[in-house]
Amino acid sequence: MNRRSSGGSEPQWEGASTGSPDAGASLAANIAAEVTAFAHEVGSCDPVTVVGAQAHWDVGGTPLAGTREVRAPAGVWEHEPSEMTVRCGAGTTVADLSAHLAQTGQMVPLDPADDAATVGGVLACGFSGHRRLRYGHVRDLVLQTRHVDASGKVVTAGGPTVKNVSGYDLARLLVGSLGTLGLLAEVILRTLPVPAASQWLTGDGDPFAAFDLLYRPSSILWNGSHAWILLEGDPADVAAEASKLEPAGFAPCDGPPPIPAVGRESMRPSDLRALAGTGGEWLAEVGIGLVHRHEAVQAAPVAPANALLMDQLKQRLDPDNRLNPGRRPW
Amino acid sequence: MPVGYGRVVASEIEGAADAALLADLRGVLGDRARDNDFERGLYSRDGSIEGSSPAIVCLPTSAADVAQIVRICRQHRRPFLARGSGTGLAGGAVPVGRPVVVATSKMDRIIEVDIANRIAWVEPGVLNLDLSRALSPLGFHFAPDPSSQQVCSIGGNIANNSGGPHCLAYGVTTAHVAALEVVLPSGEITVFGGVDAEPPGFDLRGLFVGSEGTMGIATKAAVRLTPNAPTVRTLLLDFDDVSEGSAAVSAIIAAGLVPSALEMMDQRAIEIVEAFAHAGYPTGAAAVLLVELDGLGGGVEAGVEIVREVAERHHAGHVRVAADDAERALLWKGRKNAFGAVARIKPDYYLHDTVVPRSRLTEVLEKVYRIADAYDLIAVNVFHAGDGNLHPILAFDRREPGVDERVKAAGRDIVAASIEAGGVLSGEHGIGLEKRDYMGMLFSTHDMYTQDLVRETFDPDGLANPLKIIPTGSRCSDSFHQHVPEGAWV
Amino acid sequence: MSTASPVGEPSGTAGTFPLQLDIDSDTLASCVACGMCLPHCPTYRVTGEESASPRGRIALMRDVAERGEADEAFVEFMDACIQCRGCETACPAGVRYGHMMEVTREALASQTGYQPRLRRLAYRALGMPRLLGFGSRLLGLSQRLGLMRLIGLLGRARPFRQLGAMTASLPRVPVRQSPLIASGDDVWLFTGCVMDAWMRDTHRAVQAVIESTGAGVALPPPRASCCGSLHLHAGLASDTRRLARKVMAALPGEAPILIDSAGCGATMKEYGHLLGTEEARRFAERVQDVHEWLAERVDNLPSAAPGANGSAPLQIAVQDPCHLRHVQQAHLPVRAVLSRYFDVVELDDDGLCCGAGGAYSQQHPEVAGAVRERKVAAIERTGANVVASANPGCTLHLRAVGLDVRHPLEIVAEHLSAREA
Ligand SMILES: Cc1cc2nc3c(=O)[nH]c(=O)nc-3n(C[C@H](O)[C@H](O)[C@H](O)COP(=O)(O)OP(=O)(O)OC[C@H]3O[C@@H](n4cnc5c(N)ncnc54)[C@H](O)[C@@H]3O)c2cc1C
Ligand code: SF4
Ligand code: SF4
C-alpha cells in the first residue's frame, strides 16, 4: 500500500477546511481514517520501520534485516493561512508541503538537503535546515504530533494552536528520536510568511565578524576559506545589511555549494573558529556549531545518567524493541 | 485571598517524621531549613488560588545543597517540590502531600555570559528581568518575557515553559534553553542538552522544559541570548467594538506580518490599567490593541503602514505610535501590571489561560462574558491576542460566601468553550494542580497514560512535585498512592 | 548570592502573646499575592526569603490580625522591614503597605515591649537639641581621641551591643559648627535634628541655592528640632505627634516650608493625617521638598557656568532616597535642578533602597550592608564620579563605604560659588 501522494495528486477532501461545518466534520473523519489505517498497518507485534524518501536512511543505523516497512500517510490536510498553521500526513514530502504553502506566500523552513524527504523523516532525524540561525531548531516548528506507539495505538501530543503547554512535551521528545519511540502519522506545524526578499552573498571575509555585524541573518555557511551568507526580509533591509557586508569582502551570489550530507559534527559555535586551516571538504553553520562533512562523524558520547534515562524511556515506550530496531539516536 | 493561609497543625505522627527529616536537612543546610508555622504558611501557595502547607522549607544556595536535599527526601520517602518566585498561576508550586519545599530564591547568580556562543549560564533563582537587564549593555536579552518577568525566576520559566507578549515572534521558553543542569529525583546531578549544535540522543532537555518540576530540579541553565532589535515601534489602536479588535488581530497576521507582540485589552482592563500606570490608555474604548514591531528599520516601517491600513479597515478610533522609549515603557508597564491591578475592582482573581485559533477569538470572548454573567462574576480580558492566547480574569471577593464554587464552575466552562473552539488547555501557565483534572478534555486516556510513562521514567517513586499535571488514575502504577488532601483547593 | 538572612531561624517561636492589629479587612485583603513588589523590596533582594518580602509580611500581618496573637518570630519579621515603601510604588493593586506597617509597629510598641529601651532613649534624645548637640560634640571628640575603639570593645558586651553598632558606622562628626543666618521670610528652611547637628554645611549650601533664586530664607528657632520621623517608623506615633506640635508652633505663617531631608519631608507632609486637625492639614500643605520648590523656579536659578576650561561636565549619579521617591514621589524635581548644571545619569535599579532606612542600618547592619552592596554596584555601573542623595541617612550610609556622596544642592552650591570666583 502506498499512501504517498505523488506530485500534487492529493486526497480529494484537501482544502475542505474552509467549507461548511459538514465539510469540516468529514475532513476530520477522513484524517482520522487515514491515521487509524496507519495504526492498523503498524500493528502491535512485529518489528516495523517507516520508509519515507530514504533521504536519511542510515542515520543512527539501518533497521535490522526482516523489519517490516510501512509508509506514513501523506497529504496536506488543513492549511489556514491566517492561523499560520498547517496539518499534514507525516509521509508528505517537503517538496509537496512547500509547493502547497507557497500558494499563499507561506513556508515551513525545514530545508532538508533533498526536498524529496518526508516531513516525518526530517522530524524523526531532528535535522534542522541551513536557516536554523534565523528560524530556530525544527522541533520548535512542531505544534502537535500524532504517532502510533509500540502497542499500535495512536497518541496525540502537543496541541493544534500556535502556543500550547498542555501536558508533557512528547512532541519534542519524538523529534530526533529516529522513530524508536513511536512512528509519526500526522503533524501540525507552524508556518511563516515567505520573506519578501532574499539574497545570498559570498566572500572570503571573516564570517564570525559578519555574524556580529548583522541583525539576525538567516544563514552563515563557511568552508574555512569562504563564507556564504543569506539575508532575508524586507527588500530595503536586505539591501542595507548587504551593503554593510561589502566592505568586508562579500558580494552577491546565487547560493552556497551543495551542503555535504553524510556527517554532521556538532560543536559549540565558538569552537568552529579552530577549524580554520583544517583540511577536508566541509561546510560549517556559523552561530550554530554544526559542521557538515562528506564522511561519517562519530557522535559524542552521552553522559551515563542520561544514557540510563534514554534506555529506560525506550524500555517503557517500546518494551519489545519493535520500533525501528537497529536504530539508535545516541 | 485566603485569610491566614496554610497554617497547618501537623498530627503527632507526622510531627515525629517531620522532626527526623528536619534534623537531617539541618545537617546540610543549618538554619536554611525551616519548619516554623509562619514560614510554612508563606510557602503554602503560589499565584493561583490554591494552597496547602509544606512540612519543611529549604533555602539551598547550591546544586550540591539541592542534591543533598533530594537524597534526604528519598531516604525519608518524602515528596519534594521546587519553587521559584511563587508566581505560577496553575498551582504548580502548591505543596501537595506534605512535601519539602526547595525554594531556589537564594540561587540567583548569573554565572557566565558567553557572547561567543550567545548563551548565559544562570542559576534557577535569577529573575527573568534581571537577566535581560544585565544583558542589555551587551546588546542582548532573554526573549521570553512573561508579564511577571520582573519577579518570576528563570527556573519557574523553564518548568512552566513560560511565554510572554514577545513570544509571538520569538517563541516560548523551550526555544531559548540550550542546556540544563538538573538534580534528578534519584539525587544524581546531570546535564540535559548542550551548548553544541546537536546534542546526541533523545531531547531530555525539551522534555524537562514544561514538566513543572515533576522530573527533578533545575539547578543551572544555559539560556540563549537574543540580539536587541535595532528598531522598535509600539502602536496603540483603540476600537469601539471588541469584535472589530479581534478581527484586526487576524487581519494583521493574515497580511503576512509577524509582530513581535500583539496584545489586546478590553474596556475593564483598560480602566484598571490606566488607574495604575497613567499611560494615557483611552478609557472610553471597548478594546485596545497594543502592537509592537521590531527588527530592521525597513521591515518595521513597512509593518507600521500595514497596521495602519488594517486599523482603518477595522474602524480603529486612533492609532497612537509611541514617540520614544519612555512612552513605550509606560504602555508596557500598564500591560504587564494588568493582573495585579485587577485588585482595584475585587481583592481576588482567578486568571485563566487557554488558547484558541485566532479566527475564533471573537466568538470565544463573547462566550467568556456570557459565562461570567451567568455566574455573577466580573470578567476582565487582557491577553496575547496574536497567538490566540486568552487570559480571562474572573475578579471576585473570597469573603463572599459560595463564591469559590461559582468561580471554579465558570472556569471550567471557559476551558470547555475554548477546547470546543479547537483550542487547548493552557498556552503558558501550565497544568499544575488547577487544570490537572481537565486534561481529559484534550487528551485521551491513552495519551495521558503515555505521558505518565514518560514522567515515571524520571521519577519512578513519584516524589518530585507529585500529583501535578496528570490526573490521578491515569495509571494504576503504585506511584499514585498519595491523594490530594482534602482542602488542597482552598 | 543572596545568602543574608533577615533574622535567621527566629529564636523564640514558643511563646505567643495577644496582639490587636487594627487594620481593616479590606486593606488586609487588598494584596492578591502577585509578587510584583518582590524585586523592589531590598530585604527580599538580599535574602531571597518570603518572610522578608512585602507579600510575606502582609500575609503574616493578615495571619496575626485574624488570630489576635503573635509571637517573637513575628516581631522579628516585622522589625526586619526597612519601611522604604518600594513595594508600595511597585504594587499594581494599590496596597497601602506603609500604612499597614505603621499600624503594626504602633501596635507592637504600645501593646508589647517591642522597642528596646536603649532605642527609645536614643529617639528621645533626637527631640532634645541641646542634648543632641552635646552628645554629638562628645562623639566628635571621642572619634578623634580613639575612644570609639573603646566603645566598640564595650559593644561586644551585651548591653552595649547596639550602641557599639550604632557608633561604629557613624561619620566623623563636627566638633564645632558656625551658625546659619536667616536672610528673609519668603520660605522657611527646616533644619531638623541629626542633620543640623552633624551636617549643617548641607543646610548652608541649600540656603545658598534658595537665595540664588532671589528668595529670603527664614530659619526656625532651635525648639523646632525633630520632625519625629524615626519615632514614627519605630511605632512611637505619640512621640511623633508631640514633636509635630512643637515643629508646627515654631514655623508659623503662610510661607512654604522647605525640607532638605527626604525622611523629614515625608513625615511632615503626613502631619495632617497624623494629628487629624485642620491646622495640621494646612501646615502639611505648606511642606515641600526643597527640590520641588526649586524645580518650579529653575529659570530663576543662575545659569550654568560655561564648561570650566572645556572639561567634560561632572557626571552625577542620582540616588533617590526612598522617602523622596516612594513616599513623596518627588524624585523627578531633583533631576530638574541638577540637569541645569550637570550630566545626570540614572541608576538601573528602579530606585531600590540603599539600606540606610533611618536607624535601620544601625539595627540590622548585616542586611543593611548587603542592600548597600547592591546600591554600590549599581552606582559603579553608571561610571559616575559623584553621587547625589537628598537624604542625610542615605548619604552617611553610602559615604561609609568610601563613595563621594553629597546633597544635590551642595553640588549645585559648589558649582555656583566656583562660577562666581
Ligand atoms: C501577574 C502575573 C503575570 C503573569 N504573566 C505571565 C505571562 O505573561 N506568561 C506566562 O507564561 N506566565 C505568566 N505568569 C505565570 C508565572 O509568572 C510563570 O509561570 C512563571 O514562569 C513562574 O515562575 P516562578 O519563578 O514564580 O515559579 P513558581 O511559581 O515558583 O513555580 C512554577 C513551577 O515551576 C516549578 N519550578 C520552579 N523552579 C524550578 C526549578 N528550578 N526546577 C524545576 N522546577 C521548578 C515549580 O515546582 C512549579 O511547578 C504570570 C503570573 C503573574 C502572577
Ligand atoms: S503587595 Fe501588591 S505587588 Fe505585592 S504581592 Fe501584594 S498585590 Fe502584589
Ligand atoms: S517597605 Fe521596603 S523593606 Fe519593607 S516590605 Fe516594602 S519594600 Fe520591603
CATH number of the CATH domain containing A125: 3.30.465.10
C-alpha cell at A225: 576559506
Q: Are residues A202 and A248 in the same domain?
A: yes
Q: Which of B34, B47, B342 sits opposite C35 (nearest CB)?
A: B47
Q: Are residues C287 and C314 in the same domain?
A: no
Rg (CA), chain B: 22
Average predicted confidence (pLDDT) for chain B: 91
- How sure is the predictor about C419, in pLDDT bands with cuts at 50, 70 and 90? confident
At A218, is the secondary structure helix, strand, or coil? Answer: coil
Domains of chain B and any CATH numbers: 5-103 (3.30.43.10), 110-227 (3.30.465.10), 231-339 (3.30.70.2190), 345-420 (3.30.70.2740), 444-483 (no CATH)
Chain C closest-CA separation from residue B150 CA (Å): 7
Q: State the pLDDT at residue B13.
A: 61
Q: State the pLDDT at residue A20.
A: 56
Q: Are A223 and A186 in contact (CB under 8 A)?
A: no
In chain A, the number of structural domains is 2
Grid coordinates 507579600 are at which residue?
C55
Q: State the pLDDT at residue B479.
A: 38
The verdict on B361 touching A (C-beta cutoff 8 Å) is no
> pLDDT tens digits, residue range B455-473?
999 999 999 999 999 987 6
Residue B44 has pLDDT above 90, yes or no: yes
Residues 78-97 of B with CB under 8 A from A: none
Domain finish residue from A170, A193, A216: A193
Find the mean pLDDT for residues A305-318.
Answer: 97
| Structural domain range at position C57 | 16-111
Q: In Å, what is the CA distance from A312 to each residue of A167, A181, A315, B188?
A: 20, 11, 5, 16
% of chain C beyond a pLDDT of 90? 58
Identity at A330, one-letter amino acid code = W
Q: Are residues C201 and C276 in the same domain?
A: yes
Check residue A251 and report its DSSP letter.
E
Q: Are residues A172 and A208 in the same domain?
A: no
Q: State the pLDDT at residue B469.
A: 94
- How sure is the predictor about B378, in pLDDT bands with cuts at 50, 70 and 90? very high
**Is residue A314, in this structure, part of any structural domain at all?**
no
Query: How far is C40 from C371, CA to CA, in rounded Å?
Result: 12
The verdict on B156 touching C (C-beta cutoff 8 Å) is no
Chain B closest-CA separation from residue C240 CA (Å): 31
> pLDDT tens digits, residue range A152-193?
999 999 999 989 998 999 999 999 999 999 999 999 999 999
Q: What residues in A contact B213, CB-CB < 8 Å?
A: none
Q: What is the DSSP string of C389-408?
A: ES-HHHHHHHHTTT--EE-H
- How sure is the predictor about C231, in pLDDT bands with cuts at 50, 70 and 90? confident
Query: How far is B483 from B436, CA to CA, in rounded Å?
Result: 13
Q: Are C16 and C69 in contact (CB under 8 A)?
A: yes
> pLDDT tens digits, residue range B411-456?
999 999 999 999 999 999 999 998 999 999 999 999 999 999 999 9
Check residue B399 and report its DSSP letter.
T
C-alpha cell at A61: 543505523
Grid coordinates 525622611 are at which residue?
C263
Q: State the pLDDT at residue A38.
A: 97
**Is residue A310, in this structure, part of any structural domain at all?**
no
At B280, is the secondary structure helix, strand, or coil? Answer: coil
Reference A125, options A109, A143, A138, A144; nearest CA is A138
Rg (CA), chain A: 21
Q: Are residues A167 and A258 in the same domain?
A: no
Q: Are residues A56 and A184 in the same domain?
A: yes
How many beta-carbon contacts under 8 Å exist across A and B? 239
Q: Are residues C291 and C192 in the same domain?
A: yes
**Is residue A143, in this structure, part of any structural domain at all?**
yes
How much distance in Å is there from the Cα of B48 to the middle of ligand 3? 23
Domain holding A211: CATH number? 3.30.70
Q: State the pLDDT at residue C7.
A: 52
**Is residue C147, in this structure, part of any structural domain at all?**
yes
Q: In Å, what is the CA distance from C303 to each residue of B241, B372, C215?
A: 53, 61, 16
Q: Chain C: residue nearest B334 by CA?
A: C92
Backbone angles phi, psi at A264, to 5 degrees: -125, 105
Q: Are B50 and B488 in contact (CB under 8 A)?
A: yes
Q: Are B225 and B294 in contact (CB under 8 A)?
A: no
CA angle B379/B383/B387 to nearest 5° reads 135
Find the mean pLDDT for residues C10-34.
Answer: 82
Cross-chain residue pair B347–C348, CB shorter than 8 Å: no
Average predicted confidence (pLDDT) for chain A: 91
At C310, is the secondary structure helix, strand, or coil? Answer: helix
Q: Chain B: residue nearest C54 by CA?
A: B42
C-alpha cell at C107: 501596635
Chain B closest-CA separation from residue A260 CA (Å): 16
> pLDDT tens digits, residue range B113-169?
999 999 999 999 999 999 999 999 999 999 999 999 999 999 999 999 999 999 999
Query: How far is C325 from B369, CA to CA, in rounded Å?
Result: 40
Instruction: Give the binding-site residues of ligand 1, using a 6 Å CB cut-off.
Output: B 46-47, 81-89, 92-93, 104, 124, 146-148, 152-153, 155-157, 159-160, 162-164, 212-213, 217-218, 339-340, 428-429, 465; C 34-35
Q: In Å, what is the CA distance from A209 to each residue of A213, A248, A270?
A: 6, 9, 12
Q: In Å, what is the CA distance from C32 to each residue of A329, B398, C26?
A: 48, 11, 12
Q: Are residues A223 and A114 in the same domain?
A: no
**Is residue C22, in this structure, part of any structural domain at all?**
yes
Q: In Å, what is the CA distance from A298 to each residue of A60, A284, A295?
A: 11, 16, 10
| Nearest ligand to the C-alpha atom of residue B382 | 1
Domain finish residue from C257, C273, C295: C295
Domain finish residue from C244, C265, C295: C295
Q: Are residues C308 and C415 in the same domain?
A: yes
Cross-chain residue pair B211–A313, CB shorter than 8 Å: no
Residue A10 has pLDDT above 70, yes or no: no
Q: Are residues C226 and C136 in the same domain?
A: no
**Is residue C6, in this structure, part of any structural domain at all?**
no
At C364, is the secondary structure helix, strand, or coil? Answer: coil
> pLDDT tens digits, residue range C207-216?
999 999 999 9
Q: Which of A233, A271, A299 sits opposite B296 (nearest CB)?
A: A233
At C17, is the secondary structure helix, strand, or coil? Answer: strand
**Is residue A322, in this structure, part of any structural domain at all?**
no
Q: Are residues A259 and A167 in the same domain?
A: no
Q: What residues in A contact B254, CB-CB < 8 Å?
A: 81-82
Query: How far is B33 from B26, CA to CA, in rounded Å?
Result: 6
Q: Are residues C317 and C372 in the same domain?
A: yes
Reference B428, options B355, B321, B349; nearest CA is B355
Element (H, E) at B354: strand B354-355
Backbone angles phi, psi at B318, to 5 degrees: -135, 160
| Structural domain range at position A106 | 3-193
Identity at C64, one-letter amino acid code = V
Q: Atom 7, ligand 2: which residue's CA is nearest?
A: C31
**Is residue A124, in this structure, part of any structural domain at all?**
yes
**Residue A273: count of CB within 10 angstroms of its CB:** 14
Its sign, for the CA torsion B369, B371, B375, B381, is: negative
Strand partners for B320: B236
Q: Chain B: residue nearest C63 by CA?
A: B4
Q: Are B279 and B323 in contact (CB under 8 A)?
A: no
**Is residue C5, in this structure, part of any structural domain at all?**
no
CA dihedral B62, B65, B70, B74 (to 10 degrees): 170
Q: Are C52 and B62 in contact (CB under 8 A)?
A: no
Q: Which of B43, B61, B85 sits opposite C3 (nearest CB)?
A: B61
Q: State the pLDDT at residue C6.
A: 54
Q: What residues in B contact C86, CB-CB < 8 Å?
A: none
Query: How far is C220 from C286, CA to CA, in rounded Å?
Result: 15
Q: Are residues C164 and C193 in the same domain?
A: no
Find the mean pLDDT for residues C367-371.
Answer: 95
What is the value of pTM for the model shown? 0.91
**Is residue A112, in this structure, part of any structural domain at all?**
yes
Residues 229-248 of B with CB under 8 A from A: 229-230
Q: Are residues A37 and A177 in the same domain?
A: yes
Q: Are residues C137 and C28 in the same domain?
A: no
C-alpha cell at B245: 479588535
Helices (H) then strands (E): counts for chain C:
24, 10
Residues 122-181 of A with CB under 8 A from B: 126, 136-137, 139-140, 149, 153-157, 159-170, 172-173, 175-177, 181
Reference B114, options A215, A268, A134, A140; nearest CA is A268
Q: Are residues A141 and A206 in the same domain?
A: no
Q: What residues in A contact B387, CB-CB < 8 Å?
A: 161-163
Q: Are residues C265 and C197 in the same domain?
A: yes
Strand partners for B330: none
Query: How far is B261 from B169, CA to CA, in rounded Å?
Result: 7
Query: How far is C344 from C53, CA to CA, in rounded Å?
Result: 31
Higher pLDDT, C149 or C23: C23
Q: Are residues A172 and A217 in the same domain?
A: no
- 3-state secondary structure string, A293-312? ECCCCCCCCCCHHHHHHHHH
**Is residue A167, in this structure, part of any structural domain at all?**
yes
CA dihedral B276, B282, B283, B286 (to 10 degrees): -130
Domain finish residue from C86, C111, C136: C111
The verdict on B447 touching A (C-beta cutoff 8 Å) is yes
Q: State the pLDDT at residue C152.
A: 45
At B225, is the secondary structure helix, strand, or coil? Answer: coil
**Is residue C174, in this structure, part of any structural domain at all?**
no
Q: Are residues C96 and C191 in the same domain?
A: no
Residue A293 has pLDDT above 90, yes or no: yes
The verdict on B192 touching A (C-beta cutoff 8 Å) is yes
Residue B112 has pLDDT above 50, yes or no: yes
Q: State the pLDDT at residue B483.
A: 39
C-alpha cell at C178: 558656625
Find the mean pLDDT for residues B237-258.
Answer: 94
Q: Are residues A127 and A11 in the same domain?
A: yes
Maximal CA-CA distance, chain B? 70
Domain finish residue from A193, A214, A243: A193
Strands (E), chain A: 48-50, 68-70, 76-80, 85-89, 106-107, 142-148, 154-158, 183-190, 192-193, 197-203, 219-222, 227-233, 250-253, 263-266, 282-285, 290-293
Residue C48's Cβ-side half-sphere holds a number of Cα atoms within 13 Å equal to 27
**Is residue C196, in this structure, part of any structural domain at all?**
yes
In chain C, the number of structural domains is 4
Q: Are residues A136 and A223 in the same domain?
A: no
Reference C36, options C83, C90, C81; nearest CA is C90
Domain holding C52: CATH number? 1.10.1060.10
Higher pLDDT, C209 or B12: C209
- How sure is the predictor about A280, in pLDDT bands with cuts at 50, 70 and 90? confident
Q: What is the DSSP string of A136-183?
A: --GGGGEEEEEEE-TTS-EEEEE-SSSS---S--HHHHHTTSTTSS-E
Q: Which of B167, B203, B388 sits opposite A172 (nearest CB)?
A: B203
At A1, is the secondary structure helix, strand, or coil? Answer: coil
Q: Are residues C397 and C308 in the same domain?
A: yes
Q: Are residues A189 and A201 in the same domain?
A: no
Q: State the pLDDT at residue C14.
A: 55
Q: Which of B42, B85, B151 sits opposite C59 (nearest CB)?
A: B42
Q: Are residues C261 and C348 in the same domain?
A: no
Strands (E), C232-331: 257-259, 287-289, 315-319
Residue A28 has pLDDT above 90, yes or no: no
**Is residue A44, in this structure, part of any structural domain at all?**
yes
